[in-house]
Amino acid sequence: MDIVVNEELKAYIDPLTPDEYEALERSLLAEGCRDALVLWGDVLVDGHNRYGICRKHGLPFQTVQNTRFQSIEDVHLWMIDQHLGRRSVSDFQRGVLALRKREIVASRRERAKAAPAEDAGAAPPEAAAPLPKNESLDSREALARAARLKSSQVVMIEKIQQSAAPEVVAAVKSGEITLSAAAAVASLPVEEQTAAAAAGKDELKQAAKRVREGKRKPARESSEEAGSAESAVPPGEDEVAALRKRVRELEAENAALRKQVLTLLGKPGQSAAPASAPGEDADAPF
Note the pLDDT tens digit of each residue in 75-113: 999 999 999 988 888 999 999 999 999 999 998 888 888
- pLDDT for 224 equals 56
CB contact at 8 A, 113 and 106: no
**Residue type present at position 6:** N
Query: Which uninterrupted H or E stretch holds 37?
Result: strand 37-40
> In terms of C-beta density within 10 A (0-12 exposed, 13-18 middle, 19 or more buried), how is residue 194 classed?
middle
Closest Cα partner for 211 from 189, 242, 194, 195? 189
Q: How far apart are CA 132 and CA 178, in angstroms?
A: 32
Stretches in the chain below the pLDDT threshold 70: 1, 116-135, 217-237, 267-286
Q: How far apart are CA 74 and CA 128, in angstroms?
A: 7
- pLDDT for 231 equals 53
Q: How far apart are CA 87 and CA 96, in angstroms?
A: 15
- pLDDT for 281 equals 45
Q: Coil, helix or strand for 84? A: helix
From first CA to last CA, the distance across the chain in angstroms is 124
CB contact at 8 A, 136 and 101: no
Instruction: Find all residues with CB under 8 Å of 46, minimum gap 6, and list them.
Output: 37, 38, 79, 82
Count CB-CB contacts under 10 A for residue 161. 15
Q: Tens digits of per-residue pLDDT, 150-184?
A: 999 999 999 999 999 999 999 999 899 999 999 99
The CA dihedral of 263, 265, 270, 272, to the nearest 10 degrees, is: -100
Over its C-alpha atoms, the chain yields an Rg (Å, rounded) of 38
- pLDDT for 125 equals 47
Q: How far apart are CA 256 and CA 243, in angstroms?
A: 20
Instruction: Find all residues with CB under 8 Å of 168, minimum gap 6, and list them.
Output: 160, 177, 182, 185, 186, 193, 196, 197, 204
Instruction: Find all residues with CB under 8 Å of 269, minimum gap 6, and list them.
Output: 262
This prediction has a pTM of 0.67
65 beta partners: 39
Q: What angle do CA 117, 121, 122 make, to 5 degrees?
A: 105
